């Protein structure tokens, strides 16, 4: 298995920026590992930091748009049957649907930093017919800092980029906390706005 993954990385290296984007679109390998490897390529001088971030953002966004359109056109029955082929587990989709139903479109941003739901959240957005432009904006705004973080960590690790899980832990936890804080602020703002609208209608 290790040899297969190494062969894939060697192939992607030959493609440069397109390889980074392609690996994130397909996501056979977790995005954190791909981005860390991109950071290693930055350290080697094969690609630039800005270019790697751009490629990571494009690849990650396209992958999420694919899941969004699957939800939009396929619906839940289709995903229950075929979601396993894109590595989406039913239990993760259940969690993502509950989050989206409870917190609304703003959760698209904050969920990107939280394990389990960070990929699955795109599907209920599609099922709920969320407009694709706000979905894309929320997604890009979350993927950019995520890409910057893991590419930078991979650059710092250099040839030790495979240790990304250990290196990333102190940074990911605050990111999750910040994402939760943003979600809470958004929920409070939505609640206050709805309350104000309700009071306006009563008047």
Q: Enumerate the domain spans of the chain.
A: 2-202
Euclidean distance between CA atoms 164 and 157, whole angstroms: 8
Predicted confidence pLDDT, tens digits, the chain (203 residues): 455 566 667 777 778 899 899 888 887 777 888 888 899 899 888 899 999 999 999 999 999 999 889 888 887 777 777 766 666 777 777 777 776 777 667 777 777 777 667 777 788 888 888 888 989 998 998 899 889 988 998 888 777 666 555 555 555 555 555 555 655 665 565 666 666 666 666 65
Please write down the long-range contacts of 1-10, taking CB distance under 8 Å and 24 or more positions apart: 5/29, 9/37
pTM across the whole model: 0.72
Q: What is the pLDDT of residue 1?
A: 45
Instruction: In whole angstroms, give the CA distance from residue 80 to residue 63.
Output: 19
CB atoms within 10 A of CB 91: 9
Maximum separation of any 2 CA atoms in the chain, in Å: 69
Question: What is residue 60's predicted lDDT score, i.e. its pLDDT?
Answer: 92
CB atoms within 10 A of CB 173: 10
pLDDT, position 140:
93
User: Can you give the pLDDT at residue 59?
Assistant: 94
């Amino acid at each position: 298995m290790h040899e297969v993954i190494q062969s894939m990385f060697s192939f992607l290296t030959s493609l440069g920026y397109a390889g980074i984007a392609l690996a994130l679109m397909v996501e056979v390998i977790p995005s954190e590992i791909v981005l860390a490897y991109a950071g290693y390529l930055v350290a080697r001088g094969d690609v630039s930091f800005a270019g790697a971030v751009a490629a990571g953002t494009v690849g990650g966004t396209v992958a999420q748009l694919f899941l969004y359109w699957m939800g939009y056109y396929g619906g839940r029955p289709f995903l229950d049957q075929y979601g396993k082929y894109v590595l989406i587990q039913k239990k993760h989709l259940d969690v993502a649907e509950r989050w989206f139903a409870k917190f609304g479109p703003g959760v698209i941003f904050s969920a990107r930093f939280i394990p389990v739901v960070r990929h699955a959240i795109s599907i209920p957005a599609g099922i709920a017919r969320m407009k694709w432009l706000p979905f894309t904006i929320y997604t890009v705004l979350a993927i950019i800092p995520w890409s910057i973080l893991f590419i930078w960590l991979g650059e710092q690790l250099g040839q030790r980029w495979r240790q990304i899980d250990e290196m990333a832990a102190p940074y990911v936890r605050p990111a999750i906390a910040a994402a939760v804080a943003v979600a809470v602020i958004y929920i409070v703002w939505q609640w206050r706005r709805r309350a104000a609208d309700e009071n306006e209608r009563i008047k």
